[in-house]
A and B are shown apart, each in its own frame.
Chain A
């Protein structure tokens, strides 16, 4: 197969020949093929943080609909978070999720294993069994809950070294965030919503960086949301410690002010998420950190919820927002339009580095001869209002409803096979 006239990482026009799922040749090639019309070609995106909800909450999302959403967003691989029901804390559950991903074939699904049994923070789950399973788990996380027990966290960090795993921490000091609803600051005080203080994230990140350094392990920090967290991670990296971090698209674009005033009215829980939306200063710090590489990756934290869990008063609503189908556009808006990242930088933060952190073979490689043909074609000139009714996700809880965002994923190829063409699922 031949893809003609695409701009790899936004560069000069080139053609890509694909044979047996692998990029065979790149350059000015002869022959007929799919006309790329000057679209930007990116390596297939890799998400480190996706909630697919299956098993247990198939009313919100399934592996099928979630991976369809991923493909539409330009992703060729996602890491499926462990907080399902039952929890992905055994080889059996992670293999089930992995197998469902294989069967549906819209993108590769690499399950994340729970750090502790039942996400209860008491006993280590059988991490080795999950690592050795067909799912080849390398990322372990109790995401949604923090591994707050320092000894347990230390042991987990140590233990996963045996199979080159990484603990992805949801950094949230539980006592400081009891009943927390919104970033603690001007807006939470005015709205009378219980505050979620930045220090509750930063204190855990600082502790975990020190623990990881002490035992010589690899730490990954999920959904970094504050300027203070960025400073701590920058410091840890300056020491040469093996710490990586991700930021979500929504923390790069939205602030806690959305809870007070938005196109969908005040107190609309479409903006309720954990960690919460922060301030404009935090957004600026996160963008700068993603640009300079202090934050390694963009991860969606795609968190589908059914309508009834969001059409409530703020305090009763579920936390989380979907993001797979808007991530690239949001990064385009927040990072590329602002001049903070070029398309090579986007490829690095949304494909190369997340694949490396997840130890995910066959993904996150430059579009060169010999690499698996995982390719996303993106039209940067498009600009449209976000319309959730067209989403492949089973849920509609997008915070970008009514906003106009740039760009459009036109096609996605998974090992040479199109999963999306003309913006539609294949």
Chain B
């Protein structure tokens, strides 16, 4: 496998290999010297057209722990703001000899287009409202660590599915790995034809919660309110927010996840976010490990 653009690109064996590799690499993160020589002399470009400090530094840390040279290219203050096309940016990176390009872009499909213009590997770090496959991998990794398995796990993904690249990648990957996903959202925030996705769909969070092993809350952007996706932040929170009352209805082993950044008090209450059953901080740490595994396997040619 050359690129990682969609979670659908991964077979079950490939996905498990990434998770298992991440498990091995996680030991590096526990050492005092957190560095492996694996990618010495290889160049990884972080090409970020959208602000996303957390994802960028996660990829940066992952590449650096594998001793790769890292070039950060952010759209702000670069030639992109002067109107350079994605293709010309790609050709520039190509000329600099990038072995891998990690791209975050506001346009769905931008990584697919980039892959037609560069020779190196393309890693999708989030494209528009399409996908964010390394987020799904780190989520699966976090679930497996906490709950010991993925097969048969009941996962509720709650919130703005329509605009969520995290939801799309998670549905695809978790389905591949044998988990059962239920999407929960107001009908306005579900895509047309969502019934064709490999998952269940519900409008009723309270009905889904007691059966769930994992509840993943998605960030809801307040500007969706002005576009009439829901009447008010309060109403959204009342119907789809994970507050302490709802949290109490989860079974004892269930965990709560959030890809961040959170709107505390909107889709998730502070008490829930900070509870021991929340994996939110672990997800960040696991992000580095999983991205190390992806870089290692893609650039090492092991998958």
> Hey, which bits of chain A sit against chain B, CB under 8 A?
181, 184-186, 188-195, 197, 265-268, 308, 311-316
CB proximity of A331 to chain B, nearest CB, Å: 30
**A188 cross-chain contacts in B, Cβ below 8 A:** 191-192
Among B51-96, those with CB < 8 Å from A are 85-87
Once A and B bind, how many residue pairs between them come within 8 Å at the CB atom? 72
**CB pair A184 B192 closer than 8 Å:** yes
CB proximity of A323 to chain B, nearest CB, Å: 24
Q: How large is the interface on B (under 10, 10 to 19, 20 to 34, 35 or more residues)?
A: 20 to 34
Contact for A315 among B108, B131, B191, B196, CB less than 8 A: B108
What CA separation (Å) do A184 and B192 show in the bound complex?
7
Among B111-158, those with CB < 8 Å from A are 112-113, 116, 127-131
**CB pair B113 A267 closer than 8 Å:** yes
**CB pair A267 B109 closer than 8 Å:** yes
Q: Is the interface of A mostly helix, strand, loop or mixed?
A: loop
What CA separation (Å) do A6 and B165 show in the bound complex?
58
**CB pair A193 B193 closer than 8 Å:** no
**B86 cross-chain contacts in A, Cβ below 8 A:** 312-313, 316
**CB pair A314 B107 closer than 8 Å:** yes
**CB pair A186 B196 closer than 8 Å:** yes
**A267 cross-chain contacts in B, Cβ below 8 A:** 108-110, 112-113
**B112 cross-chain contacts in A, Cβ below 8 A:** 265-267
CB proximity of B7 to chain A, nearest CB, Å: 12
Given A312-B86, A316-B107, decide whether A185 and B113 contact each other with a Cβ distance below 8 A: no
Residue of B110, B113, B116 most packed against chain A (CB within 10 A)? B113
Q: Flag B154-179 by CB within 8 Å of A: 1 or 0 each.
A: 00000000000100100000000000
**CB pair A314 B108 closer than 8 Å:** yes
**A268 cross-chain contacts in B, Cβ below 8 A:** 113
- Is B194 part of the binding interface, using a Cβ–Cβ cutoff of 8 Å? yes
Can you list 25 A-B contacts with CB-CB less than 8 angstroms, sorted by A residue number? A185-B192, A186-B193, A189-B193, A189-B197, A192-B108, A192-B109, A192-B130, A193-B108, A193-B109, A193-B128, A193-B129, A265-B113, A266-B109, A267-B110, A268-B113, A308-B85, A311-B85, A312-B85, A312-B87, A312-B113, A313-B107, A313-B109, A314-B113, A315-B108, A315-B109
- Is B105 part of the binding interface, using a Cβ–Cβ cutoff of 8 Å? yes
Residue of A nearest to B129 (CB): A192
Residue of A nearest to B87 (CB): A311
What CA separation (Å) do A314 and B111 show in the bound complex?
11
Ranked 5 nearest A-B pairs via Cβ = A267-B109, A189-B191, A192-B130, A192-B129, A313-B107
Beyond A266-B112, A313-B113: 18 further Cβ-contacts under 8 Å? A185-B192, A188-B192, A189-B194, A190-B168, A192-B165, A192-B168, A193-B108, A265-B113, A266-B109, A267-B108, A267-B109, A311-B87, A312-B86, A312-B87, A314-B109, A315-B107, A315-B109, A316-B86
Residue of A nearest to B113 (CB): A313
**A190 cross-chain contacts in B, Cβ below 8 A:** 168, 197
**A195 cross-chain contacts in B, Cβ below 8 A:** 191-192
Q: Flag B226-267 by CB within 8 Å of A: 1 or 0 each.
A: 000000000000000000000000000000000000000000
Residue of B nearest to A307 (CB): B87
CB proximity of B295 to chain A, nearest CB, Å: 23
What CA separation (Å) do A266 and B106 show in the bound complex?
17
**A316 cross-chain contacts in B, Cβ below 8 A:** 86, 107
**CB pair B109 A191 closer than 8 Å:** yes
CB proximity of A282 to chain B, nearest CB, Å: 14
Residue of A nearest to B130 (CB): A192
Residue of A nearest to B108 (CB): A192
**B165 cross-chain contacts in A, Cβ below 8 A:** 192
